[in-house]
């Protein structure tokens, strides 16, 4: 164990302060309550009761925010899985900064639970605090307050960047589906009319269907059902499009919509790999955390191929319904799971359809159609098939994809710079805190007396 700085002592957390948990359910919050109500979320709610009126430190006891440390001075209440530290025998801000430095790392391998992670009281009572003399505590806190103020100002500006980038991407997509992005490119060009595309779509659907029927007959399988095409009953999508574009519903440009396999998957099985919701990342597929089925093969309706689009049809989070990815560069056969819908585009550019599915105008249709049952939001194939989309000429679709990709690449570079800057500020924070609690941030006075607890 590292030697303590001069006149420092070491004690467990329970010897330093009172430790309690709240007694309220999360639904006890009141919209315009008088006091802060701390749950295990990053931001507090409001409530009309309080259990502490003091300087306090709040530690989430379960979920994704285990390891987070919050400071508050005043009246507060807390959720039953949230720990509150108060009536500290040392400088509360000193304790707060100490926990900011070490608490998250300390709990990495000390969490319980499978579905929801949590910590126990023992995590707190076994946690050691290196305690400087009281006067040195004050000097450390004063110095850290000044440094953290500057770091927080930088972090606050950095935190705005993801929102700015998200708005910029959405603005590009909205310009793409209204013809604004390709307005100059289209000048003096004669493009194939979309009416021709619609005719080709109908022909292609019929060709594919007849081919599938022939395969079924040759293999002795049942004749497949003919994919449904829904008429465009209402084209009232609240966007303006060029005269040579038209509105269609999604079923007109997709051969079929299929649900994935409901067979159980596991990383220990050795069957066909299966794409699940966690593998849908940034409009593409991530092959990390791949699970497998027990069977070596599945029906072709449950498989994917290049240029298919996979879409989340069911999730507890409404915002995740409609999240999607395009399939590219497959190196082997993959199945897909039942909470996903496979969209198989024909004739039209699949990447253009992918961009469409990520615009506000289309996502709002998903949200309005998503039905909630037992806390789970769902959208079915028919609701997806009747989604209204704008259709430009095929050549223009390719140009839209090219321009969007070019602009997105520039935004991606900005995002990478942001991530590096954020990592740098996080490292500075930890470096400064570590210096503080190893006795290297402020001058030490040999006349300072150790704290007596």
Residue 379 and residue 233 share a domain: yes
User: Is 210 inside a domain boundary?
Assistant: no
Position 372 scores a pLDDT of: 73
Q: Residue 143 has which token pair?
A: 């110095």
Q: What is the pLDDT of residue 315?
A: 86
Residue whose pair of structure tokens reads 């998957």 in the numeric block:
265
Per the CB < 8 A criterion, the answer to whether 371 and 217 are in contact is no
Regarding whether 123 and 25 lie in a shared domain, the answer is yes
Residues 400 and 276 in one domain: no
Predicted pLDDT of residue 37: 97
- CA-wise closest residue to 320 among 372, 258, 387, 274: 372
The torsion angles phi and psi of 168, rounded to 5 degrees, stand at -65, -45
Q: How many residues does the chain have?
A: 453
Residues 186 and 231 in one domain: no
- Asked if residue 3 belongs to a domain, the reply is no
Report the C-alpha gap between 380 and 363 in whole angstroms: 14
Contact 325, 358 (CB under 8 A): no
Last residue of a domain, one of 95, 112, 131: 131
The answer to whether residue 162 sits within a structural domain is yes
Please check whether residue 46 lies inside any domain of the structure. Answer: yes
Q: What is the pLDDT of residue 230?
A: 80
* 243 and 296 part of one domain: yes
Q: Is 452 inside any structural domain? A: no
Residue 63 tokens, joined: 């979920």
Query: Block means of pLDDT (10 residues each) for the chain, length 453 residues?
Result: 87 97 92 95 95 97 96 97 97 98 96 90 97 97 97 94 96 96 94 94 93 91 86 77 94 94 94 95 93 91 95 87 94 94 95 95 86 80 92 96 97 96 94 96 94 89
Q: Which domain holds residue 145?
A: 133-191+393-445
439 Rama class: left (phi>0) / alpha (psi -120 to 50) / beta: left
Whole-angstrom distance, CA of residue 36 vs CA of residue 76: 5
Q: How far is CA 37 from the centre of its chain?
A: 25
* 209 domain-assigned: no
Token code pair at residue 44: 């507090």
Do 249 and 181 belong together in one domain? no
Domain end position, chosen among 89, 104, 131:
131
Same domain, residue pair 87 and 223: no
Cβ within 8 Å of residue 165, ≥6 positions away: 411, 414, 415, 418
Q: How many domains does the chain have?
A: 3
Considering the domain architecture, whether residues 41 and 97 belong to the same structural domain is answered as yes
**What separation in angstroms does the CA of 145 have from each of 8, 84, 138, 296, 436?**
21, 22, 10, 60, 12
Q: What is the pLDDT of residue 92?
A: 98
Q: Specify whether the CB–CB gap between 441 and 140 falls below 8 A.
A: yes
Tokens of 390: 């704008």
User: Are the CB atoms for 10 and 132 separated by under 8 Å?
Assistant: no
Q: Which residue has the tokens 């095929």?
A: 394
**For residue 150, what pLDDT is reported?**
96
Q: What element of type H or E holds 165? A: helix 134-176
The beta strand positions in 147-296, using DSSP E, are 246-249, 254-259, 265-266, 273-275, 280-281, 284-285, 291-293
Cα four-point dihedral sign 373, 379, 382, 388: positive
Q: Which of 131, 151, 173 is the last residue of a domain?
A: 131
3-class secondary structure, 376? strand
Q: For residue 115, what pLDDT is reported?
A: 77
State residue 316's pLDDT score: 82
């Amino acid at each position: 164990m590292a030697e303590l700085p001069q006149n420092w002592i070491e004690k467990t957390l329970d010897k330093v302060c009172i430790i309690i948990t709240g007694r309220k359910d999360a639904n006890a919050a009141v919209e315009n309550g008088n006091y802060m109500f701390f749950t295990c979320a990053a931001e507090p709610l409001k409530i009309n009761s309080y259990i502490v009126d003091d300087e306090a430190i709040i530690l989430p006891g379960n979920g994704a925010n285990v390891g987070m440390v919050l400071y508050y001075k005043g009246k507060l209440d807390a959720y039953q899985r949230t720990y509150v530290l108060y009536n500290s025998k040392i400088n509360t801000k000193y304790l707060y900064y100490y926990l900011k430095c070490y608490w998250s790392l300390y709990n990495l391998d000390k969490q319980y639970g499978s579905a929801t992670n949590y910590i126990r009281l023992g995590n707190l009572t076994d946690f050691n605090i290196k305690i400087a003399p009281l006067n040195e505590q004050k000097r450390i806190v004063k110095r850290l307050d000044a440094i953290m103020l500057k770091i927080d100002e930088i972090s606050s500006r950095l935190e705005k960047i993801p929102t700015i980038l998200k708005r910029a991407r959405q603005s590009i997509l909205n310009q793409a589906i209204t013809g604004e992005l390709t307005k100059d490119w289209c000048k003096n060009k004669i493009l194939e009319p979309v009416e021709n595309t619609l005719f080709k779509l109908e022909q292609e659907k019929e060709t594919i269907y007849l081919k599938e029927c022939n395969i079924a007959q040759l293999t002795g399988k049942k004749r497949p059902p003919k994919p449904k095409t829904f008429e465009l009953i209402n084209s009232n999508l609240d966007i303006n499009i060029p005269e040579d574009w038209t509105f269609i519903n999604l079923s007109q440009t997709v051969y079929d919509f299929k649900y994935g396999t409901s067979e159980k998957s596991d990383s220990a099985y050795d069957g066909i790999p299966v794409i699940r919701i966690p593998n849908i990342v940034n409009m593409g597929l991530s092959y990390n955390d791949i699970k497998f089925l027990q069977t070596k093969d599945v029906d072709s309706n449950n498989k994917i191929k290049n240029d298919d689009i996979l879409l989340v049809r069911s999730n507890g989070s409404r915002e995740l319904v409609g999240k999607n990815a395009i399939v590219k560069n497959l190196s082997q056969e993959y199945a897909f799971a039942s909470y996903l819908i496979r969209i198989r585009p024909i004739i039209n550019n699949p990447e253009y359809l992918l961009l469409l599915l990520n615009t506000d105008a289309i996502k709002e249709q998903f949200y309005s159609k998503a039905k909630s049952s037992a806390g789970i939001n769902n959208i079915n194939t028919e609701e997806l098939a009747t989604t209204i989309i704008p259709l430009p000429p095929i050549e223009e679709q390719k140009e839209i994809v090219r321009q969007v990709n070019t602009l997105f690449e520039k935004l991606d570079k900005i995002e990478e710079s942001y991530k590096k800057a954020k990592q740098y500020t996080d490292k500075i924070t930890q470096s400064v805190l570590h210096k503080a609690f190893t006795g290297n941030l402020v001058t030490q006075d040999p006349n300072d007396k150790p704290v007596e607890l």
